[in-house]
Amino acid sequence: MGKEVQLLTLNFVLLVFLWVRPHAFLFSTQFFLMPFTVAVVSAPDLYHLIRHVFPSRLPDPWAQWDSMYSIRGDLFFTIMVVLHVIVGYTEEQASRQEYRVMKAVQNTGTRTKGILDTLMPPLVVEKLLKNPKQSHQYRHATITQSDLCGFTKLASTATPKEVVKFMSQLFGRFDDLADKHGVYKVETIGDAYVAGVAEPPLTKDNSPISVVFFGLDMVRAVDSWSESMQSEVTCRVGIHHGECIGGVVGTDMQRYHLFGDLLVGLEILESTAPEGRVQVSEACMLEVERQRKGLKEQESKKQVKKKVVIHENLKFEQRKDGELTTSKGETHTLPYPTYLVESDQPLRKRLHLQTLLQS
């Protein structure tokens, strides 16, 4: 039986090597193997010790049971297993630390991409990673700019903390509306909010009518906020359509800005719009009408599903004034007619209520 026992011991050694080699990074399995190894290696000695202390008259079938190693060999074999356990522990700790570092880098990259997406259009970020000095020519951009009428007066009677709170509340509502209508927020200048759509990479979908809906909803959002604050703050909006250039400005605190005559005309449209109204250029009106016609044709032919939900009917009322006047008395003359947007939905809640009361 001695040969069988020695063969079993040899097989056990092979099992130990097959166990620890491919699973060297698993500390728990190796730690379980250590007491098991010690027990198997010392089992023959423990058996003979017990037989010596408690002799028996019965024949001993395991009298030849002995390890193929000497005491010194058993000791070295046990030390080898302990060393494997220590190596397994250190490698597992290193693997865990590497995983934590990779996870931190991944989270940092995710946060960085999130920050970049708020500062620049996502499609622009992807292109800038390949070419940091890239600029973009937009031929069909529809940009809106809003202004808060009466906010300066309200801010003069409020604390700085309250002013920041008010702006955060209003621009937070504008941000939600921008996401709703698929409009990209370009920038804010004081209490002015600039946003719009164009061909990629500014926005994925170029829908001028969505910008008009966005402008109407901005007026309603400010009116609702003003009513809750019991203030007289209103919003006026200008929307223009045409060509412009986009690009990253700055070295440390980079921002994506739009440039061109489109922005000059946009500022005039916004500053000369009546309080609580949306004023658009002729180019914007024609582009919206062209899009509405295309949507109707697609709907009648059932070719594609509409990506734009038309939740209100729009009309454009041309302004007869030759000169447009701002609230500060400045006059401007544009080389094209402008239009005020009319809707079958109430534009301003309080004015709608006043109209009902008067009727």
For 181-202, letters b (16+ CB in 10 Å) and e give: bbbbbbeeeebebbbbbbeebb
Please identify, among 117, 151, 172, the residue that sits at the C-terminal boundary of a domain: 117
Does the predicted model carry a pTM greater than 0.75?
Answer: no
The count of structural domains within the chain is: 2
Please identify, among 90, 117, 144, the residue that sits at the C-terminal boundary of a domain: 117
Specify whether the CB–CB gap between 270 and 262 falls below 8 A.
Answer: no
Banded pLDDT at 162 (limits 50, 70, 90): very high
Whether 322 has a pLDDT exceeding 80, the answer reads: no
Q: Sign of the CA dihedral 13, 19, 24, 28?
A: negative
Q: Which amino acid is at 89?
A: Y
- Look at residue 355 in the predicted model and tell me its pLDDT: 43
Mean pLDDT for 335-346 is 91
Q: What is the mean pLDDT of the chain?
A: 79
More confident residue, 154 or 321: 154
* Residues 75, 83: Cα–Cα separation, whole Å: 12
The model's pLDDT over 39-48, given as tens digits with 9 standing for 90+, comes to 666 666 666 6
- 124 is a domain residue: no
User: Which of 53-62, 91-100, 152-161 is predicted least confidently?
Assistant: 53-62
Q: Sign of the CA dihedral 14, 17, 18, 20?
A: positive
The model's pLDDT over 170-223, given as tens digits with 9 standing for 90+, comes to 999 999 999 999 999 999 998 999 999 999 988 989 999 999 999 999 999 999
Banded pLDDT at 2 (limits 50, 70, 90): very low
User: Are 45 and 159 within one domain?
Assistant: no
User: Are 193 and 160 within one domain?
Assistant: yes
User: Are 69 and 160 within one domain?
Assistant: no
Task: Name the range with the highest mean pLDDT among 6-10, 117-121, 145-149.
Answer: 145-149
Whether 258 has a pLDDT exceeding 70, the answer reads: yes
- Which tokens belong to 21? 């080699």
What whole-number percentage of the chain has pLDDT above 90? Answer: 38
- Which tokens belong to 237? 């909006």
- Look at residue 103 in the predicted model and tell me its pLDDT: 78
Residue with tokens 């006059």: 331
More confident residue, 230 or 93: 230
The model's pLDDT over 17-42, given as tens digits with 9 standing for 90+, comes to 665 555 544 566 666 666 766 666 66
Distance of CA 248 to the CA centre of its chain: 20
**What is the H or E stretch that residue 83 is in?**
helix 71-119
Mean pLDDT for 307-316 is 82
**What is the H or E stretch that residue 328 is in?**
none
User: Are 148 and 237 within one domain?
Assistant: yes
* Residues 33, 26: Cα–Cα separation, whole Å: 11
User: Are 8 and 39 within one domain?
Assistant: yes
**What is the H or E stretch that residue 226 is in?**
helix 208-229
- 125 is a domain residue: no
What whole-number percentage of the chain has pLDDT above 70? Answer: 65
- Look at residue 177 in the predicted model and tell me its pLDDT: 95
* Residues 68, 49: Cα–Cα separation, whole Å: 17
CATH classification at residue 176:
3.30.70.1230
Report helix, strand or coil for 321.
Answer: coil
User: Are 102 and 228 within one domain?
Assistant: no
- Which tokens belong to 69? 């190693």
Distance of CA 82 to the CA centre of its chain: 49
User: Are 89 and 160 within one domain?
Assistant: no
End-to-end CA distance of the chain: 113
Specify whether the CB–CB gap between 213 and 181 falls below 8 A.
Answer: yes
Banded pLDDT at 92 (limits 50, 70, 90): confident
User: Are 234 and 313 within one domain?
Assistant: yes
User: Are 219 and 318 within one domain?
Assistant: yes
User: Are 179 and 37 within one domain?
Assistant: no
Question: Could you say which DSSP state residue 29 is in?
Answer: H
User: Are 75 and 160 within one domain?
Assistant: no
Structural domain span for residue 51: 2-117
- Look at residue 163 in the predicted model and tell me its pLDDT: 93
* Residues 310, 307: Cα–Cα separation, whole Å: 10
User: Are 229 and 192 within one domain?
Assistant: yes
